[in-house]
Amino acid sequence: MDQHKKNDNPSYSRTDTDKVVMKDEDWKRVLSPEVYYIARQKGTERPWSSKFENFKDAGTYYCAACGNALFKSDTKFDSGCGWPSFYEPISKNSVIYLPDHSLGMSRTEVECGRCKAHLGHVFEDGPPPTGLRYCINGVVLDFEKAKEAEKNYNEKKKSL
């Protein structure tokens, strides 16, 4: 039993790494309207509106749609761009990249590697060591403080 299971979202898990494929109507049913708008309709939250924008607690950020681990707090930095920003995802498989030519711009979209939720974009003006800036909508992030995350990670390792 995954203690983080949300409402009746059958895909939400912090331990399951299987890819999630769910119909749009099912996503609409299980996600909050805010998360659905960003994650499934590629929306963008208003800049400076995220509680995570100036948030400095140590811990792990997860996909709010499926529970996939995305970013660690020690890769978060103050970009001043109005959205939570990170310079590196937790692992290569945490996120996937897609060319995005919408709004007359050439950008790289970042999606969740597990459920393909739209997260934000990545730009090449970040700090070292990667030089990347993952500009992420806070609405699609769940945060867990370090201690609890570590405990869950160890439990996960045990069960593998």
Interacting residue ranges for Zn ion, rule: CB under 5 A:
63, 65-66, 68, 112, 114-115, 117
* Beta carbon of residue 66, minimum distance to Zn ion (angstroms, whole number): 3
16: buried, middle or exposed (CB in 10 Å: 19+, 13-18, 0-12)? middle
CB nearer to Zn ion: pick between 20 and 135: 20
Catalytic residue among 63, 112, 115, 135: 135
Q: Which of residues 40 and 114 has its CB atom nearest to Zn ion in the complex?
A: 114
Contact predicate 113/93, CB 8 Å = yes
CB of 63 to Zn ion, least distance (A): 3
Q: Is 45:83 a contact under the CB 8 Å cutoff?
A: yes
Q: Which is nearer to Zn ion, 95 or 135 (CB)?
A: 95
Q: Which helix (H) or strand (E) holds 95?
A: strand 95-100
Query: Do you know the residue count of the chain?
Result: 160
Is residue 81 flagged as an active site residue? no
Q: By C-alpha distance, which of 73, 76, 77, 114 is closest to 95?
A: 114
Residue 88 CB, shortest distance to Zn ion, in Å, is: 18
Active-site residues: which are they? 135
